[in-house]
Copies of this chain bind each other. A is one copy, B any other.
Amino acid sequence: MGKEIGITVSKENDFSEWFTQVVIKAELADYAPVKGLIVLRPDGYSIWESLKMSLDKKLAKTGHRNGFLPTLIPESLLSKEKKHFAGFNPEVFWVTHSGDSEIGDRLALRPTSETLAYSLFSKWIKSWRDLPLKINFWNTALRAEIKSTKPFLRTSEFLWQEGHTVHSTKQEAEQEVADILEIYKKTVEEELAIPVITGKKTELEKFVGAVYTFTMESLMPDGKALQMGTSHFLGQNFSKPFDVKFSDSDNVENFAWQTSWGVSWRLIGGMIMLHGDDNGLVLPPRVAPIQVVIIPIYYSDKDKENVIQKATEIHDILEKNNVRVKLDDRDQVTPGFKFNDWELKGIPLRIEIGPKDIEKKKVVLARRHNREKHDQVISGIEKMVLSELVSIHNDMFADAKKILDGKTVTVCTYVDFKSELEKGRMIHAPICSNQQCEEKIKEETGADVRVVPENSDDKTLKCIYCEKQSESIPLFARGY
């Protein structure tokens, strides 16, 4: 494979360039003409569709329904919850004209839809019988990125889902926030083979407008943490300014309790970074647009006919068993070129079949993720391929988990903290209750608290920054 087609840098030496090349050369995405915006090509979008289907099913089962919200929000409405607005203001795209006419109340391109959704919820909800209201929106959010952008990780428009729920009790809303975090974790682990750490954000790092924020985080190979999804308990912070009220069974009016939560195509960015290698993309089987590629190998026309025929048989039986399979019967390129091509695209399993294989009634199976090869008898191949796909997923997850665990350390001093950080680690470090210590650490090292896992309270140690009594041992890292 020529240099211009394959990946030209190694993942270890130039992670950032490697990532961009994988995205573009595996044809997942491309740059749009506006800086900071990308386009998803079919292979990239197909991964998003798989994720969407998996998450959508879980949300439907738990009583959520989908809706549609428009892209444009009037400035007057967006600015109704002050703190929330201040958080987004520098990133807002503003529509000021339609055709040649100027628009009075400028229109924001939705950076997120809390304000729009809740102005509607206040009309829709009258009594306790209308609750809980659990709506989800599959759309995009638009936030003009000032920092340097990166496909899937930091773009000025991104695909996501935003869920918004309204409850009659605080307890029910808090349960929802926790349930959603579990659903997210399950989806990411089971579809993308990405291990995550869940817990709360600190006051400093939570969503502006939330009472608290749950998060799931993972560590990328460059030592930076990636926030993979958040679930916010909003309390009554929005129901009060937006007048989201309900009358209870005694006919008494109350402000409702709310949640909001989202995951975006960042998940795909995480998947690429975590699993990819120097040959390109490595796709977890459940989201791979093509799970198995069959490469016929022959050097004469007589062999060709036999090989293609057998390869087609195998293709058909796999397809009948709901395997997403492709037979690469291109004539104008060599088997070697095809190997490289499908490796670049990350197809989880390759089947090689040649005349000698047919004589022995077998094929060669080659795994993408660890490049292991073994012979496989053709009879019963469908069962073997299905179980192979499951074990590829499990092995990819186990490998990733081992690396994550190996890169997660605990320190007791600021000196150790800084040295571990340079090694690209996620660090458990005790801190006190004074928010200034957290701020100072972030300012001096670039690392922030990614997540405060459950049961991380600890008053027996010393704060790594001020050395006063610790309050908890959260997890620090530099972040995306």
Mark A30-61 against chain B: 1 for CB-CB distance below 8 A, else 0.
10111001111110111011000000000000
- Tell which of A37, A67, A77 has the most Cβ of chain B within 10 Å: A67
Number of this chain's copies in the assembly equals 2
Q: How far is the CB of A288 from chain B (nearest CB, A)?
A: 14
Contact in complex: A70, B39 (CB < 8 Å): yes
Contact in complex: B68, A48 (CB < 8 Å): yes
Q: Which residues of B contact A174 (CB under 8 A)?
A: none
Contact in complex: A135, B34 (CB < 8 Å): no
Please report the C-alpha to C-alpha distance between residue A37 and residue B37 in the assembled complex, in whole angstroms: 25
Contact in complex: B99, A97 (CB < 8 Å): no
Q: How far is the CB of A155 from chain B (nearest CB, A)?
A: 8
Closest to A117 in B: B39
Mark A7-36 against chain B: 1 for CB-CB distance below 8 A, else 0.
000000000000000000000001011100
Closest to A48 in B: B68
A413 within 8 A of B: no
Please report the C-alpha to C-alpha distance between residue A67 and residue B100 in the assembled complex, in whole angstroms: 32
Binds B, one of A88-96, A277-285, A465-473: A88-96
Q: Which residues of B contact A97 (CB under 8 A)?
A: 93-94, 96
Contact in complex: B70, A157 (CB < 8 Å): yes
A166 within 8 A of B: no
Please report the C-alpha to C-alpha distance between residue A107 and residue B93 in the assembled complex, in whole angstroms: 10
A173 within 8 A of B: no
A72 within 8 A of B: yes
Q: How far is the CB of A35 from chain B (nearest CB, A)?
A: 10
Q: Tell whether A42 pairs with B65 under 8 Å between CB atoms, given A97-B96, A98-B93.
A: yes
- Which one of B40, B66, B123 lies within 8 Å of A49 (CB-CB)? B66
Q: Tell whether A68 pairs with B40 under 8 Å between CB atoms, given A74-B34, A116-B32.
A: yes
A144 within 8 A of B: yes
Please report the C-alpha to C-alpha distance between residue A37 and residue B140 in the assembled complex, in whole angstroms: 17
Mark A128-164 against chain B: 1 for CB-CB distance below 8 A, else 0.
0100000100001010101000000000110100000
